[in-house]
Each structure stands twice: as structure tokens, then as C-alpha cells.
Amino acid sequence: MEVEGEKEAFPSNNDCLAEAKCDGQILKEINSEPTESFDVQNSLPEGKKEFVAPAVGMEFESYDDAYNYYNCYAKEAGFRVRVKNSWFKRNSREKYGAVLCCSSQGFKRIKDVNRLRKETRTGCPAMIRMRVVDSKRWRVLEVTHEHNHLLGAKIYKSVKKMGSGARSKLQSSSDAEVRTIKLYRALVIDAGGNGTLNCNATGGRKFSDHPHQLNLRKGDSQAIYNYLCRLQLTNPNFFYLMDFTDEGCLRNVFWVDSRCRASCGYFGDVIYVDNTCMSNKYETPLVALVGVNHHGQTVLLGCGLLAGETAESYTWLFKAWLTCVSGQYPQTIITDRCKALQTAIAEVFPKSNHRFSLSLIMKRVPEKLGGLRNYDAIRKTFVKAVFETLKVIEFEAAWGFMIQHFGVTDHEWLRSLYEDRARWAPVYLKDTFFAGLSASRPGENLSPFFDKYVHKQTPLKEFLDKYELALQKKHKEETLADIESRNSSPELRTRCSFELQLSKLYTREIFKRFQFEVEEMYSCFSTTQLHVDGPIIIFLVKERVLAEGNRREIRDYEVLYNRSASEVRCICSCFNFYGYLCRHALCVLNFNGVEEVPSKYILSRWKKDYKRFYVPDQGSYNVDSIDHMQWFNQLYRSALQVVEQGAISLDHYKVALQAFEDSLNRVHVVEEKQD
């Protein structure tokens, strides 16, 4: 270890230019931000504003980020910064620790006392001590705020002193510096303690006044900042991004806590974009990204607060999420019918299947068609066309009959719905995987993730409190389901070998759903061959189904079976909609003497030990040799698996804790060898 002694951050013979580094970066913001303009006469800001004071636990991506933050905080407070100490690794000369202090810290050496420059050292104790931590970020470990001298506005005067050449040079600072400063601008609060992250904090939220910035109540911006800071300190893998206008006003926010971020790796294959709060003009402009876990429960994959339902805001949100998950595209994205969402998804997720939520469409039927004459008859015909047709030609015929018979050819909503039919009608979506989020059967719903926690008038600060309650409840439900799936065996209701096979693999809830399909095999009374083409055989399975008025009717289902490829596909496409085989496919397998469900139809995401053996795409064998963030994410996911297993029982806990201690000791050995 090497220690570098005290040195000036800004050389004394170049004070003006040294001060100008921070000022220049801020100047780029000031020039476009009328909310904090400079008084030309006095070179002082109009309205006292200050950066949030440094605090123990703050983290920065690099030493330069930390240094720039403290330097800009000092500039606003009225003092200058000096690097007191730096620590470097002996072999690599890589900096891993530093102390930044007030320029008035300490006293001049005796040999320097006779210099002409006025004595400015007062032994000031103000300082911050920081160090690189395991996450490769710089963390503030110690802070002293008190100064033993007056703080002045002399730093501002450097702006007035700068010539046009210096100003021009400052204007060309790098984009990285500007982005960093914009983040620091997010830390600005006014003297009264009310947040000014948003330039338009008002008594209530309005949706039309400022469509390009986040409209918040007074104090909401400070609540957001406090909340994100607290999560960052207490949540080791917490991720958030903030988006600002050129004027420095808060526009969009995105965050994912550590457990939700882990869920993105496990269950990010199918995403439902829950924009209920935005589309219904809730007080809290919330958008939730939702997935489904191995128990069929909805899980949160990310949250955002958006300025409005614009393509720009949604594009920013999706790019933020994509950054969080290291560029792993979802297989399917389900959304409301919204042009802004369509535009954003086409840009950010061009490889994903974008589908509209059938659940939301069905909810709007009373609103959109309720005023029509013969509404009840139209609704029944509509439902029949959507849920009971198995082929495209059948859907087209049923829809055409509805339009002509009831004279609704010119109905705008029905016309636009028909134009978008390839994105929402089940008959068109049989090759799209939904993991149970399709709601392709009558009566199925996709409820808002924060249902019962957020209503139309819920203020943002109240939502931030309820957010954690909602997640705690969801996490508890998942943990209890994990324990129940591992520690109990489901009751078998048939002698079917398929039921016994998957009772040992699936989680309890998913097995119940599959078990229902096994039981319903007995409602299928006929399996016959329709067509043979080499190894491919098409079967016709007849089923008695319960129809309207509690009457039974017979429906035909075509099932393709390829013995050589162990492939079975039913026209109802239950496997793609729900992730397990239907009764019709099981009947065909049984008819052909197959005693076990082929492995390709037993999805790992439904298995009770899925999270235990899950290996993400960016595994330990394909690690980037210089990507520290990838290392951290992979280690965190692996550690979280140990944590979840260790929480099962006291014995599990003791083994997991000992494993962590052993691993840490081995890592310390490596660190000692490097030093």
C-alpha cells in the first residue's frame, strides 16, 4: 500500500482556472436553466440553493465522480477543496482511497510563511473520507461538515472573471461530464428543504400543463430523492436512473430493488407493462413492469414515474430497464393498446413479440359498446368470436357476422380493434409464449400489480410507503409458496403417469393447473387419426364442454403429433398460452403409448428448484475480463440463491452462513496476495 500525502486539488498559481472547472460544468446547466440564473452585477445566484450535503454511505461510480460532486458542493457552499491524502495499490498504482478536505485545512509550513500570499489556512476540520468497496464503487465512509471559518461567495466570482476564451473552452467539456453534472443537479434542494428536482412543484398534479416534465406536489421530489438514497444505502444491488430536461427539471424516474432485479433474470422472458395509473390519470404517474414467477404469481421487474404517456417517456423507461438487465430482451411484451407504447417498443425491443392485453380489451367492452342497441347480444357474439374460434377463418367469419348483423360497420372502436387483431385475438397468437399472462380464457384477468395499494387519489409520498408494503407481501407469498412446494407432496387424483411425473417437478400451484388438465382428459371421449404424412399424424380429439345455459356441447380439437421429434401441438395452443400441455395433447400422447411428457414440454421456469439451478445467459464461464458491473451482478445473483435457500430452515441458515464466511476468507487471501 502506498500513501500519497497532501496535495492541492487546484494549484495555487492557477486559482481562477482551477475554480472554473466546476463552474464551467455548471455553467452549461445555468445557460439553459432560467430557474437559477446569475445576477450580472453581483455574480451571485438568484435564490439560495445548495447541493445535498455529503453523507456516510453515498456511493459514486468513480473517484472522478466523487471528487466532482464534493467540489461542486463546496462551490455552492462557498469553500474550495483540496486532496489531503490518496491511497494507491503498491503494484498497480490504482487509487483505492482518498480524503478530500477544505482548502483551509491544516496550516502552512514554516518555510512558506513569508510568502506574499495571504494566509488562508485555519486548521478547518471539514472533510470527507472515501474508499473503493467490493462493488468497485467509491463509498463515503466519514464526513465532517463543520468549518471554523466564514464561508463566502468568492467562488461565484470566478464566473465573472472568466474571459470569452475560457468560457468557450468550458462549453466544450465532454458529454460524460455533462451527464455527471446533470445527476448532481438531481441533488439540488432549496433552502426551505423542499425539493426542486422538478421545476413545477405544485399543490396538485395536472396532466396538461407540462407534458414533458414530471408534475409533482410540493415536497414530492425530495421524497423521491430521500427514498432512492435510502434504498441505495440499504439495498446492495439497487438500480435507479433519473431523466432531466435541458432546464434541469425532473422528467422520468426508474428504479429496481435487488430482489426485483434478480427476478428480471429469472422471469424476464414475458413482461406486462402495467400503465393503469397513467392511462387512468392517477395522482401517482406510475408504470410497473410485471412478470410471472414459478408459482404463477406476478412479480415486479421495475418501476417508473413518467412525465406523460409519450413515446419519448416510454422509450426512456424501456432503455433504462434494458440497461438494468444488461441488454437481455424479453421474449414477449404485453401492453395496453397505446400508440406511444407501440412506437417505444418497436424502437427499444424490435426482437420481442409485442401483444395487446386481451384482459384490458375485455374490460373496455361495456364502456365502448354499452351505448349500442342490442348491447347484450353484441357482447355475447363478440365473446364467442374471441374465445371460441380456433382457426383464423372461423374468427373472420364470426367477426364479419357480428359487424353485418348488428349494423356496427362504422363503429370506430370495433374498426380499430379489428385492424389490430393480430396483436390481441388468441387465434392469431398461437406461436407467442405468454407464460400465463395471456388471459386467453373467458373470465381471466390481469389485475394491476399495486391493486389495493394505489387508488386514483393516492399521493406519491403515500405510494412510496405502500410500495415496500406491497413488495414485502409479494415476497412473503413467494417464500411461503417455495416452502410449501419443497416440503409437501401434492395429492394425486388419477392413475395417469403424467400426473405422477410432474408432481415431482412442478411447483405446487403450477402442478394444480396441470393436474386439472389431466383430470379433464376424461371429458375427451374420442381420439382418431385425420391425416398421416410420414412421421407426422394429425389427430382429432372430441371433448364435451360446458356451454351457455349449463348445457354440454361437443367440440373438435386437431392435434399434430410427430413421434420421431417427440413433438405434440394442439390447435388450442395451451402450451404457448400457459406453459404446460393441454388435455387434448395429453390424450394423443396417451393414445400413442407415451408414458411421460417429453422434456421439451416441461419448462424449467415452472420447476420447484428453478431458482436453485438457474444459470443466466451471462454465466461465470463467459465473464468479461474487465466488466466489473457484470462481475457484481453475477456474484449478487449467485449469492441471492444461497440466501433464499439458507432461509428455509435453521440448519440451512447455518450451512449458508458458514459458506459465506469461508468464501470471504478465501477472497481475502487473494487480496493479500495482490497487495
pLDDT for 87 equals 87
pLDDT for 609 equals 87
Q: Is the pLDDT at 68 greater than 60, yes or no?
A: yes
At CA 117, angle to CA 113 and CA 118, rounded to 5?
85
Distance CA 509, CA 490 (A): 10
Residues belonging to the chain: 675
Condensed to tens digits (0 to 9), the pLDDT of residues 11-56 reads 333 333 223 233 333 222 323 333 332 232 222 333 444 457 788 7
Mean residue pLDDT across the chain: 80
Q: Is the pLDDT at 629 greater than 80, yes or no?
A: no
Residue recorded with cell 431458482: 611
Q: Summarize the confidence of residues 168-183 as an average pLDDT.
A: 38
Q: Is the pLDDT at 183 greater than 70, yes or no?
A: no
Residue 226, classified by CB atoms within 10 Å of its CB into exposed (0-12), middle (13-18) or buried (19+), is middle
Between residues 648 and 382, which one has the greater pLDDT? 382
Strand order of the sheet with strand 95-102?
A: 2-4, 81-88, 95-102, 127-132, 138-144, 59-60
Using 50, 70 and 90 to split pLDDT, how confident is the model at 660? confident
Distance CA 467, CA 488 (A): 32
Distance CA 498, CA 476 (A): 31
Using 50, 70 and 90 to split pLDDT, how confident is the model at 402? very high
pLDDT for 641 equals 73
Domain ranges of the chain: 58-108+120-144, 220-357, 359-445, 497-596, 629-662
Distance CA 102, CA 74 (A): 8
Q: Is the pLDDT at 668 greater than 90, yes or no?
A: no
Q: Flag the least confident range among 98-102, 602-606, 644-648.
A: 644-648
Q: Which residues contact 451 (CB under 8 A, 6 or more apart)?
A: none
Using 50, 70 and 90 to split pLDDT, how confident is the model at 187? very low
**DSSP at 37:** P
Contact 420, 385 (CB under 8 A): no
Distance CA 507, CA 510 (A): 6
547 phi and psi angles, rounded to 5 deg: -105, -175
Angle between helix 63-77 and 15-31 (nearest 10):
90
Condensed to tens digits (0 to 9), the pLDDT of residues 363-376 reads 999 999 999 999 99
Q: Is the pLDDT at 528 greater than 90, yes or no?
A: yes
Condensed to tens digits (0 to 9), the pLDDT of residues 92-151 reads 778 889 999 998 887 766 555 555 556 667 888 899 999 998 778 888 888 888 888 888
Strand pairing category for 127-132 and 95-102 = antiparallel
Q: What are the b/e assignments for 481-517, b being 16+ CB within 10 Å?
A: bbeebeeeebeeeeebebbeebbebbbbbbbeebbeb
Condensed to tens digits (0 to 9), the pLDDT of residues 256-305 reads 998 899 899 899 999 999 999 998 889 999 999 999 999 999 999 999 99
Contact 247, 199 (CB under 8 A): yes
Containing H/E element for 648? none
For residue 173, which amino acid is it?
Answer: S
Residue 12, classified by CB atoms within 10 Å of its CB into exposed (0-12), middle (13-18) or buried (19+), is exposed
Residue recorded with cell 342490442: 374
Between residues 3 and 92, which one has the greater pLDDT? 92
Q: Which residues contact 463 (CB under 8 A, 6 or more apart)?
A: 284, 286, 450, 453, 454
Q: Flag the least confident range among 209-213, 219-223, 503-507, 547-551.
A: 209-213
Residue 366, classified by CB atoms within 10 Å of its CB into exposed (0-12), middle (13-18) or buried (19+), is exposed
pLDDT for 411 equals 96
Cell of 35: 430557474
Cell of 460: 406519491
Give the three-state DSSP class for 58.
coil
% of the chain beyond a pLDDT of 70:
78
Distance CA 255, CA 239 (A): 6
Using 50, 70 and 90 to split pLDDT, how confident is the model at 2? very low
Strand pairing category for 270-274 and 332-335 = parallel
pTM of the model: 0.68
Helix ranges restricted to H, 235-310 = 258-267, 276-279
290 phi and psi angles, rounded to 5 deg: -125, 140
Contact 149, 166 (CB under 8 A): no
Condensed to tens digits (0 to 9), the pLDDT of residues 554-596 reads 999 999 999 999 999 999 999 999 999 999 999 999 999 999 9
Q: Is the pLDDT at 675 greater than 70, yes or no?
A: no
